[in-house]
């Protein structure tokens, strides 16, 4: 499966969450499997974004059940991933809108010259 493409940040998340690297890798594999099932594909930006989002949610669920989590809580990272995804989409939307504006402006200029 895609476990060989596990994010390099996996051990860091495991330490912060208080889980072993092996468990983190198992949770990653589960997240990849769920993302593949939900998206219907095993590649692409939607697949990888959902994989990371599912992984962070699964880690948070796993940690919230352990007594160690109550003493040293892991950072809640899923919100940060969702926020970053939204911010990148806003950048893309702004670029697309700027492109459309210039495309329309040039199109209008061209049709005005043609009509004159």
Which tens digits make up the pLDDT trace of 78-92?
Answer: 666 777 777 777 777
Query: Domains in the chain: how many in total?
Result: 2
pTM exceeding 0.75: no
pLDDT tens digits, 19-68? 899 999 999 999 999 888 888 888 888 888 888 888 988 888 887 665 54
CA dist list (Å): 95 to 1, 46, 88, 92, 106:
35, 20, 11, 5, 17
Integer Rg of the chain from CA: 21
Same domain, 81 and 61: no
- Token pair belonging to 86: 């939204």
Same domain, 58 and 85: no
Same domain, 36 and 81: no
Only one residue has tokens 């493409």, namely 5
Same domain, 22 and 52: yes
Same domain, 67 and 84: no
Domain span holding position 106: 77-116
Same domain, 64 and 7: yes
């Amino acid at each position: 499966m895609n476990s060989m493409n596990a994010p390099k940040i996996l051990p860091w998340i495991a330490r912060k969450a208080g889980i072993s690297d092996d468990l983190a890798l198992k949770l990653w594999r589960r997240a990849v499997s769920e993302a593949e099932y939900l998206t219907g594909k095993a590649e692409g930006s939607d697949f990888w974004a959902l994989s990371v989002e599912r992984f962070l949610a699964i880690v948070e669920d796993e940690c919230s059940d352990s007594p160690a989590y109550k003493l040293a809580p892991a950072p809640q990272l899923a919100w940060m991933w969702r926020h970053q995804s939204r911010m990148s989409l806003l950048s893309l939307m702004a670029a697309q809108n700027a492109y459309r504006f210039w495309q329309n402006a040039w199109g209008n200029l061209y049709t005005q010259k043609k009509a004159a």
